[in-house]
Amino acid sequence: MAKKWILFSLLTGITGIILTAFNTQVPPAAISLHAADTLLYPEEKHFANIQQLTFGGDNAEAYFSYDGEWLVFQRTSVKDGIPCDQIFAGKIPAPGAPFQYKMISTGKGRTTCAFFTKDGKHIIYASTHLGGDSCPPLPDRSKYGNKYIWPLYSSYDIFMADLNGKIVKQLTHSKGYDAEATLSPDGKKMIYTSVKDGDIELYVMDLNTGKEKRITHTPGYDGGAWFSPDGKKIIWRASRPQTPEALQSYRELLAGNLVAPTQMEVFMANADGSDARQITQLGQANWAPAFMPDSKRIIFASNHEYKRGFPFNLYTMQADGSGLQKISRDKGFDAFPMFSPNGKKIVFCSNRNNGGTRDTNIFIADWKE
């Protein structure tokens, strides 16, 4: 049950803490030798010089700035007084040095899915704070047969803030869920998920003009999209209900601002949404996809090897769906991979080295081909 709760807590976005000043965490040197052994599993041949950046709480969706010097992420730490995600940013430390970070979001509502802008002086993120100061409630799963479900809070909108936390612009204004935003390599376009047209679809917005285009049109969840490093492609996670019964169940959940993310595959398309095609055919939950530095291969998280639903590990494959390779080996949760702009480092989030707790932390490593 503990592992299942870890996954439920993380995937529904319960990661966050309010801190009004920089917070220095315990450096890796302070970890016991036994605990340090869990930083890297013997089979993880692609990771070198791995470093744990956070220590305690639920830390997720850590993404590089365009210059590769900073990370922005979402964090929850109930023991520190914050029950749901807030957004933090910090400069990546030298090996062995502590990771220092500060809160960027307002401290109100729930936040998710932050990303640096091209100028390195701002971030975009989704927040429910216009809908209320408190964390929005978790869904009552008992009403839906105890299905594993994600909430799609209708008060989520996407904002741009400077690194002092001042919101300089509200980017979305629809009444429904707007979240899961990332930016193109040139920093000019934002791809995000919205229910504004009645289904969970992807949209691309020009940040300068605000003009946007819907780029997915098939019933089912479409979200978590990324541009390729060369800007020519996009990749995302999607559900595609295959039977009338599955489609009805999907629509019933959507009417309650919910989605069941247990059956998702990775899709790819041109940057304008054309030539969309399914890349994975693995079953269960395949999600958190991103392109590798060459814009030809992909990396993603999956539980397809385990009928019980966990562990989640990282996998790579070619863009045509061939060459599946297992990259990570934690027995609980590895997800949210992103490569640095120069392709030399990878950041991801994991349950490893947490002392038997439910904590999810951020790890950074040199990438070895």
How confident is the model over 118-130, as pLDDT tens digits?
999 999 999 999 9
Evaluate whether 280 touches 299 at the Cβ level (below 8 Å): no
- Contacts with 267 (C-beta within 8 Å, 6 or more apart), sequence order: 222, 235, 236, 237, 238, 276, 277, 278, 279
- Contacts with 256 (C-beta within 8 Å, 6 or more apart), sequence order: 139, 144
Q: C-alpha angle 317/369/341, rounded to 5°?
A: 85
Query: How far is it, in rounded angstroms, from Cα 267 to Cα 289?
Result: 9
Evaluate whether 61 touches 349 at the Cβ level (below 8 Å): yes
Q: Residue 249 forms beta bridges with which residues?
A: none
Structure tokens at 126: 């989704």
Query: How far is it, in rounded angstroms, from Cα 209 to Cα 257?
Result: 29
Query: How far is it, in rounded angstroms, from Cα 198 to Cα 303?
Result: 29
Mean pLDDT of 189-213: 97
Please give the pLDDT value at position 1: 32
pLDDT more than 90, % of the chain: 83
CATH of 2-367, one of 2.40.40.20, 3.10.129.10, 1.10.10.10, 2.120.10.30: 2.120.10.30
Please give the pLDDT value at position 112: 97
Q: Using 50, 70 and 90 to split pLDDT, how confident is the model at 38?
A: confident
Q: Using 50, 70 and 90 to split pLDDT, how confident is the model at 10?
A: very low
Please give the pLDDT value at position 92: 98
Mean pLDDT of 339-364: 96
In total, the chain counts a number of residues equal to 369
Query: How far is it, in rounded angstroms, from Cα 191 to Cα 184?
Result: 8
pLDDT digits (tens, 9 = 90+) for 262-318: 999 999 999 999 999 999 999 999 999 999 999 999 999 999 999 998 899 999 999
Q: Using 50, 70 and 90 to split pLDDT, how confident is the model at 21?
A: very low
- The SS3 call for residue 343 is coil
**What residue segments make up the domains of the chain, in order of their start?**
2-367
Mean predicted lDDT score pLDDT of the chain: 90
Please give the pLDDT value at position 22: 27
Give residue 303's region: left, alpha or beta (phi > 0; psi -120 to 50): alpha
Q: Using 50, 70 and 90 to split pLDDT, how confident is the model at 79?
A: confident
Evaluate whether 309 touches 4 at the Cβ level (below 8 Å): yes
**Of 205, 190, 110, the residue nearest 150 (C-alpha):** 110
Mean pLDDT of 166-180: 97
**Of 309, 346, 308, 354, the residue nearest 328 (C-alpha):** 346
Q: What pTM did the predictor assign? A: 0.90
**Of 10, 5, 18, the residue nearest 83 (C-alpha):** 18
pLDDT more than 70, % of the chain: 90
Q: Using 50, 70 and 90 to split pLDDT, how confident is the model at 147?
A: confident
Query: How far is it, in rounded angstroms, from Cα 217 to Cα 58?
Result: 34
**Choice between 32 and 170, residue whose per-residue pLDDT is larger:** 170
Q: Residue 265 forms beta bridges with which residues?
A: 238
Range with lowest mean pLDDT among 14-18, 109-113, 261-265: 14-18
**Of 86, 95, 85, 89, the residue nearest 71 (C-alpha):** 89
Query: How far is it, in rounded angstroms, from Cα 51 to Cα 23?
Result: 17
